[in-house]
Amino acid sequence: MEFLRYAVVGGLAFVADFCSLVAAQELLFKGFSWGVYASTVIGFVVGLAVNYILSILFVFTQAKDRGKGRNFGAFVVFGLIGIIGLGLTELGMWVGVEILTWNYMVVKALVTGAVLAWNYLGRKVLIFR
Q: How far apart are the first and last CA of the chain?
A: 16
Q: What one-character-per-residue DSSP string does 63-126 give? A: GGGTTTT-SHHHHHHHHHHHHHHHHHHHHHHHIIIIIS---HHHHHHHHHHHHHHHHHHHHHHH
Q: What is the mean pLDDT of residues 67-73?
A: 69
Judge whether residue 12 has pLDDT over 70. Answer: yes
41-61 confidence digits (pLDDT tens):
999 899 988 988 888 888 776
For residues 69 and 32, the model is more confident at 32
| pLDDT exceeds cutoff 70 at 15 | yes
| pLDDT at residue 63 is higher than 60 | no
Q: What is the pLDDT of residue 3?
A: 78
pTM for this prediction: 0.78
Mean pLDDT of the chain, nearest integer: 87
* pLDDT value at residue 100: 97
Q: Residue 68 pLDDT more than 70?
A: no
Return the amino acid letter for 21. L
Indicate the pLDDT class of residue 65, thresholds 50, 70 and 90: low
